[in-house]
Amino acid sequence: MVTSLSTYMCKEGNSCGLTGASTFFSGIPDAVMVLNSSLWCYFSAHEYIEKQCPTARMRFFCSQRNKDAVFAGTEQYLLHILQSIQQTAQPSVVLLANSCTDSTRNEDLLQIAKQANLNCPVICLDRHDLEEGFWAGYQAAAKAYFREVPLQLRTAIKSGTVNLLGCSVGYYNAVHDLQELRRMLTLAGYEVIACPGAGSTMQEIINMTQAQLNIVVHHELGHELAELLEEQYDMPYVSLLPPYGIQGSLSWLKAIDYYMSGESNGLKALQQEANYLEQKHGIMNKEQQKIWGNIWFDSVLIAAPASVAFAISQAVRGEWINAKKIITVLQNGVAFKQSYPEYVGIVLDGYKDQQKIEQHLTGLRGGLLMASSKEKAILHQKAVKDVAYQHISSPVYDEMILKHRPFMGLQGSSRMIEGLWNQYIQRQEKPDFIKKAMVT
C-alpha cells in the first residue's frame, strides 16, 4: 500500500543518483558499469535500467560489499570484479561508482582501478557526485565522461550534421521517441553523428566534434553537458522543448533549420507529412465529434521531467484536447524557466509540493492524468474514479510497449491523439443507436 507520494518516490530508482549515473553509461553499448554498493542498491538500479535497455544486464556488476567493509574490504571486493572484467570483457570505458551510503573517495576508487590494470578509461564517482538524485547523477556521469575521454579535435566540421544531447534510455518510451527524432532529422536532410548516453558507441562519441550543432533534447539532462562541450570544443548548441504534437514538431525542426543557417532541403517533405496528418486527424475528429462531442476534460494533471512536462502541456493546450485547467508537475523538482507560459497552467515542484499534488489528484475526478504509475497509485489509494490516464513518465508498472510507438514527433502525435480520444470515448455514455447495435 502506498502511503504518500514522498514515500513512493524514495523507493523508486528514478530518484537515485546512482541510477542516473548508471543510466548514462548503460546507453553506451560498449561501456561497463561497476557499482560499489549493496545488492539492494544494485538491483534497484538494475531493474530500472533493464526495462529500457535489456542489453545492459550483461554489462552491469556489483561489488556486493557488506555493511562491515571498510576501505580494505572495498578494495578486495572491487579488485575481484575489475580483474574479472579485464579477463572476460573488452569494454571501451568503465564506470566505477559508489552508492550514497559508501564513503570511499574518488581518489581511492581510482587507485583500486589502477591496480586492476584495465585497458580502458575508468570514470570514478563517489557519493558526493550522486547524492542529489537521478538527474544530478546523470549529469555528473556525463560531464565526468567527457572530462576523462578526449574527443577528436574540432578541425573538420561536416555540413548538415548534429548531435543529440540529454537523451536517456531511462526516460519512459525513450527508445521509440529517439527513433522518431532520428527519422525526422534524416528526412529534413540532417545526419545525426552521436547521441551520447542513448545508443552511441564510444567511437561515435569521439567523432561527435564533427557536427555543426548540438541539440539539447531534455534540458534537465543535457544543458550542462552542452555548456561543457561548448567550452572545451567550441561546439554551438541549442536547447529546445522536445517536439510533441504536429505544430510542436514543425516548430522544433524549423528552429533547428534556423540555427543550421537554413541548410535543410527536406522540410518541405516533412511539411507535407504534417499537412496529411492534420487532414487525417481533422476528418477523424469530426466523425467522433458527431457522436461524442468535443473532447474535453475538466482538469489535466501532467507529471514528468521538466522538459517533457512543459512540452506535453503545450501540445495538450494547443493541439490535442480542450481542458479547463492544467496542472504541470515537474518530477525533477527543478524548472529551467523561472517564468512560465500560460499553457502550463499551475506549476508544481515534484519534490517540494507533494501535499498540493495529492490534493489536485484527489480532485481529478472527470479529468485526465498524464503521468507515471506513482501518481496513478495515489488515485487508487484515494479511491478517485472516472479519470482517463496516459503514461508519459517512469516508473510504469501496468503497461507494456513492444512495438514501435513514439510519443514525440509527427508519428507520436497520431499515437497520442488516438490514445486520448479512446480514453475519452470509454468514459462517455453510449448513445442509443450504439447500445442497440451492441445488443443485436
pLDDT tens digits, 243-282: 999 999 999 999 999 999 876 777 889 999 999 999 999 9
* Residue 227 scores a pLDDT above 70: yes
Of residues 295 and 57, the one with the higher pLDDT is 295
Q: What is the pLDDT of residue 438?
A: 60
pLDDT at res. 8: 36
239 or 343, greater pLDDT: 239
Question: 49 pLDDT exceeds 70?
Answer: yes
Tell me what pLDDT residue 320 has. Answer: 95
Instruction: Give the per-residue pLDDT at 297.
Output: 92
Q: In which element (H, E) is residue 161 found?
A: strand 161-165
In the block, cell 548508471 appears at 22
Q: How confident is the model at residue 103 (pLDDT cuts 50, 70, 90)?
A: low
What pLDDT shows up at residue 7?
Answer: 35
C-alpha distances out from residue 438 to 391, 433, 434, Å = 30, 9, 6
Give the model confidence (pLDDT) of 312-322 as tens digits: 999 999 999 99
**Does the pLDDT at position 1 exceed 50?**
no
The answer to which of 47-51, 244-248, 425-429 has the lowest mean pLDDT is 47-51
Q: Is the pLDDT of residue 219 over 90?
A: yes
Q: Who contacts 197 (Cβ-Cβ below 8 Å, separation ≥6)?
A: 23, 24, 25, 27, 28, 138, 142, 167, 168, 169, 221
The mean pLDDT value for 129-133 works out to 80
CA angle 199, 36, 89 (to 5 degrees): 50
Range name among 89-103, 126-140, 217-231, 308-322 with the lowest pLDDT average: 89-103
Confidence class for position 101, pLDDT limits 50, 70, 90: low
Least confident span in 49-53, 147-151, 171-175, 403-407 = 49-53
**CATH of region 292-426, choose from 3.10.20.600, 2.30.110.10, 1.10.3720.10, 3.40.50.1980:** 3.40.50.1980
Cell output for 375 = 501518481
Question: Which CATH code of 3.90.1200.10, 3.40.50.1980, 3.90.1150.10, 3.30.420.10 fits the domain covering 12-148?
Answer: 3.40.50.1980
Domain 161-268 and domain 292-426 have a common topology: yes
What's the CA angle centered on 364, arms 363 and 367, to 5 degrees?
Answer: 150
Mean pLDDT (the chain, rounded)? 86
Higher pLDDT, residue 303 or 400: 303
Domain range list for the chain: 12-148, 161-268, 292-426
Question: What is the value of pTM for the model shown?
Answer: 0.90
pLDDT at 334: 66
| CB-based contact 255:240 (threshold 8 Å) | yes
User: Per CATH, which fold does 161-268 belong to?
Assistant: Rossmann fold (3.40.50)
